[in-house]
Amino acid sequence: MVWLQEVEHPAKGDKNIVELGMVENIEAGEGSITVTLAFAKHRDPLAEYLIGSAKAAIIRNAPAGTQVEVKTIIKEEAPKKKPGLDLGFEELSEVKHIIGIASGKGGVGKSTVAVNLAVALARLGYKVGLADADVYGPSVPKMTASEADMPDAIVNGEQEVILPLEKYGVKWMSIGYFAKPEQALIWRGPMACNALKQMILQVRWGELDFLLIDMPPGTGDIHISLVHDIPMEGAVIVSTPQDVALADVEKGVNMFRNESVNKPIFGLIENMAWFTPAEHPDEKYYIFGQGGGQRMADKYGIPLLGQIPIVQSIREGGDTGEPAALSTRPDGLAFVALAEKLAEILK
Ligand code: ADP
């Protein structure tokens, strides 16, 4: 072995063939030495050079007259794992429509709408899943009162597959089941992207009519990467009627229409469109302005899918984990109407 350390590999930073693990075997008999060198590929351009150098090194060091033979074998290198996750789309193979639920900024009620839309679609008889990909504030566990639950995993070949939780007729998955809220906040860039991909691609969704993806708010790199990595059919955008929020809608629209993303936007959902007090269900107070959602939808040539009022029961439903869309109150039915419209467009 020591003798063979004299043989340096010119293409590997002059490391010797011993430290490169190329010396597969050494057999020393009476007056003979046979060395086997392992090469990673059949036509290694340096093979002859290395065989000759190995032979010369042994002849230099061994007693005179020793018979030296150098044999070779081919050892294919194990394929290198690509950095990041290498997940396929198998678990999505029975999902008909994958729709991103996006918003230009946080706090417009995107998660509330996503959760209630999922429940409303299930009420209409569709098979529905929701992946809560809002790494910076996962809300599905709280909004469905399943914080204490932990999804199971099963082993599928070499990979684990996560089983979604099922409640209210919907299959749920959230990064919040695996990370404490304060942990999620520190995730950045590739780490967040990988966690999100896993949360969508490594989940046994089974047969679904709709898989909604509650996207993180905003329009950064993480969104672009999410839209690239997940075979989303398109998106819906949630906004409030406020001017500021509407300016953010523009960013959201542009993100999906960007050349590198280029996904259809199926519609705009105007959340908090008006305020209706519980004791006066017929009254509408346009506290954030009136008609903003329609104007924006017209401007971008996308349908206004629905208007959801701001009512106390929607907020309470989010806090208690019983989504408003389960009820027969007007706010519950507003979500059902929204679900009908989306299903109609995607039919
Ligand atoms: P986002 O996902 O856009 O950050 P959330 O869905 O978390 O926003 O909603 C923010 C807060 O507003 C929550 O407390 C939620 O209950 C409340 N909320 C959202 N939509 C409504 C609504 N239509 N009526 C009453 N409260 C709402």
Compute the distance from residue 109 Cα to the ligand 1 centre, in Å: 4
According to DSSP, the β-strands at 23-29 and 208-214 are unpaired
Nearest to 120 by CA among 272, 291, 317: 317
> Is pLDDT of 88 > 90?
no
pLDDT band for 166, please (50, 70, 90 cuts): very high
Instruction: Look at the chain and count its residues.
Output: 347
Q: Rounded distance, CA 345 to CA 347, Å?
A: 6
Q: Which H or E element spans position 269?
A: strand 265-275
pLDDT value of position 245: 75
Are 275 and 285 contacting, i.e. CB atoms less than 8 angstroms apart?
yes
Query: What percent of the chain is modeled with pLDDT above 90?
Result: 56
Are 113 and 341 contacting, i.e. CB atoms less than 8 angstroms apart?
no
Q: What value does the mean pLDDT take over residues 219-227?
A: 81
pTM for the predicted model, two decimal places: 0.76
Q: Which two tokens stand for residue 102?
A: 């996006």
pLDDT band for 82, please (50, 70, 90 cuts): very low
- Take atom 22 of ligand 1 and give the residue whose Cα is closest: 310
Lowest mean pLDDT among 16-25, 124-133, 220-229: 220-229
Instruction: Report the chain's mean pLDDT, rounded to a whole number.
Output: 88
- Which of 130, 175, 315 for mutating ligand 1's site (highest number of atoms within 8 Å of CB)? 315
Which atom of ligand 1 sits closest to the CA of residue 271? 23
Q: What value does the mean pLDDT take over residues 124-138?
A: 91
Query: What percent of the chain is modeled with pLDDT above 70?
Result: 93
More confident residue, 82 or 222: 222
Helices (H), 133-277: 140-143, 181-184, 189-201, 221-229, 243-257
pLDDT band for 233, please (50, 70, 90 cuts): very high
Are 271 and 308 contacting, i.e. CB atoms less than 8 angstroms apart?
yes
Lowest mean pLDDT among 85-89, 154-158, 217-221: 85-89
- Take atom 8 of ligand 1 and give the residue whose Cα is closest: 109
Compute the distance from residue 112 Cα to the ligand 1 centre, in Å: 5
pLDDT value of position 41: 75
Concatenated DSSP letters of 202-232: TB---SEEEEEEEPPSS-SHHHHHHHHHS--
pLDDT value of position 79: 56
Which atom of ligand 1 sits closest to the CA of residue 316? 16
Q: What value does the mean pLDDT take over residues 19-31?
A: 92
Terminal C-alpha separation, the chain: 70
Are 23 and 72 contacting, i.e. CB atoms less than 8 angstroms apart?
no
Q: What value does the mean pLDDT take over residues 21-43?
A: 89
pLDDT band for 228, please (50, 70, 90 cuts): confident
More confident residue, 259 or 141: 141
Q: What value does the mean pLDDT take over residues 109-136?
A: 95
